[in-house]
Amino acid sequence: APRIAAMAARRSADEMRDRVVLGEFGVRNVHTTDFPGNYPGYEDAWDQRRFEEAFRVDVIREEEDTLEFDMVGIDAAIANAFRRILLAEVPTMAVEKVFVYNNTSIVQDEILAHRLGLIPIRADPRLFEYRNQGDQEGTEIDTLQFQLKIKCKRNPQAAKESSDPDELYFNHKVYSKHMTWVPLGNQTDLFPDADFRPVHDDILIALLRPGQEIDVLMHCVKGIGKDHAKFSPVATASYRLLPDITLLQPVEDEAAETLQKCFSPGVIEIQNINGKKVARVANARLDTFSREVFRHEGLKNLVRLARVRNHYIFSVESTGILPPDVLVSEAIKILMGKCQRFLNELDSVPME
């Protein structure tokens, strides 16, 4: 009996260490556990060799602007650090100053400037320096200049009875494609094959009517999302824990079909075994954990819903300025820089 009790205790400790359990009325085991002495009988001090054996990164899906990858074997604090660095500390170039020479459109100057600031600019921020505090004039190493000059005119060839603005007027829609790069200083020599422009050509900036015009000059500078959201390089960066669904006993026939409907499509599949329909977990990763199964009295005690505590599924969606894999590697470099700065501080402060 003592051996059975010891094994049960160890099993429950294993579950607490490895799984976050989703119950009907709350979530269990959410606290951080990776420090020594948390569980009797476990050697939980951090060990580099053990970490390197357990840690891995798997790229699941890589498309033009989205990247989904698994990071296994880390603590929530590290996962969160990556996410927040991606959102707020990886630099990009964005419009910071707008010099308005003429704006007779119905969009006020400050609204126009704000809209221009939010347009993602395809320019590698690693080619530029940060602009010094208090510098009014930009230089070729820290500033990109764009011009937007456009005037709306009537179309004399338009049909008399037409009411379509696309036929009646020329240039009545101002798009991001109308922004043109104006090289500063020796930028034509610095970037001979550069193609600095907005990421998307079809972002609508303003609508004009005949006689109205916009003539502005823009200065793009390097910045980070902490200062303003327009500098954030990602549309979204999020992570979730890998779902883990266990059937505690066989679920058959009608119960199996009800169970299948409780989860996202593709999570539970129904197999035909000796003429019986039997449910089995096909792909827990697809589940969104609506916890629908807890509404069924007969099913809620047959399933254990959990998440794997150290398996993070990251999804990073870039705004198109840099590819998402570059963003992730830049975020890693920034975190390494933070760690190095912290170590330098520790070295430089004399101990009492």
**What is the model's pLDDT at position 182?**
95
Q: Which of 196, 231, 266 is the last residue of a domain?
A: 231
* Structure-model confidence comparison of residues 39 and 103, the more confident one: 103
Q: What is the pLDDT of residue 252?
A: 87
Which domain, by its residues, includes 104?
92-231
110 within a domain of the structure (yes/no): yes
Same structural domain, 96 and 226? yes
Q: Structural domain tally of the chain?
A: 2
Looking at residue 259, its pLDDT comes to 92
Say if 276 falls within a structural domain.
Answer: no
For residues 76 and 103, what is the distance between their CA atoms, to the nearest angstrom?
Answer: 50
- What's the pTM value of the predicted model, to 2 decimals? 0.86
Whether residue 98 lies inside any domain: the answer is: yes
Residue closest to 212 by CA, chosen among 113, 101, 102, 99: 102
Domain shared by 166 and 99, yes or no = yes
Residues 225 and 124 in one domain: yes
Alpha carbon distance 299, 167 (integer Å): 63
Averaged over 248-268, what is the pLDDT? 91
Do 127 and 168 sit in the same domain of this protein? yes
- Segment among 23-32, 110-119, 155-164 with least mean pLDDT: 23-32
CATH number of the domain that residue 96 is part of: 2.170.120.12
Query: What's the mean pLDDT in 254-266?
Result: 92
144 contacts 127 by C-beta, under 8 angstroms: no
Residue 37: predicted pLDDT: 75
The CATH number assigned to the domain holding 67 equals 3.30.1360.10
Whether residue 285 lies inside any domain: the answer is no
Is the pLDDT assigned to residue 266 strictly greater than 90?
A: yes
Q: Which of 75-84, 285-294, 343-352 has the lowest mean pLDDT?
A: 343-352
The answer on 195 and 172 residing in a single domain is: yes
For residues 242-260, average pLDDT = 91
Same domain, 144 and 243: no
What confidence tier does 42 reach under pLDDT thresholds 50, 70, 90? confident
Q: C-alpha distances in angstroms, 342 versus 58, 81, 141, 185?
A: 29, 15, 29, 38
How high is the mean pLDDT of the chain?
Answer: 91
Position 136 scores a pLDDT of: 81
State the sign of the Cα–Cα–Cα–Cα dihedral 191, 193, 199, 200: positive
**Residue 40 predicted with pLDDT over 70:** yes
Please tell me the distance from the alpha carbon of residue 245 to that of residue 21, in angstroms, as a whole number.
Answer: 10
User: Of 206, 231, 256, at which residue does a domain stop?
Assistant: 231
Cα separations in angstroms, 97 against 19, 130, 146, 189, 239: 50, 14, 11, 24, 34
Q: Is 35 exposed, middle or buried (0-12, 13-18, 19+ CB in 10 A)?
A: exposed
> Same structural domain for residues 116 and 179?
yes
Residue 220 lies in a domain: yes
Structural domain includes residue 55:
yes
- Taking only the tens place, the pLDDT of each residue in 270-283 is 988 888 889 999 99
Same-domain pairing of 140 and 75: no
More confident residue, 340 or 350: 340
142 and 243 share a domain?
A: no
Average of pLDDT values for 66-72?
96
Domain boundary among 170, 197, 231: 231
Residues 103 and 204 in one domain: yes
How many residues comprise the chain?
Answer: 352
- Tell me the pLDDT band of 352, cut-offs 50, 70 and 90: low
Please state the rounded mean pLDDT for residues 147-175.
93
Q: Are residues 128 and 24 part of one domain?
A: no
pLDDT for res 10: 75
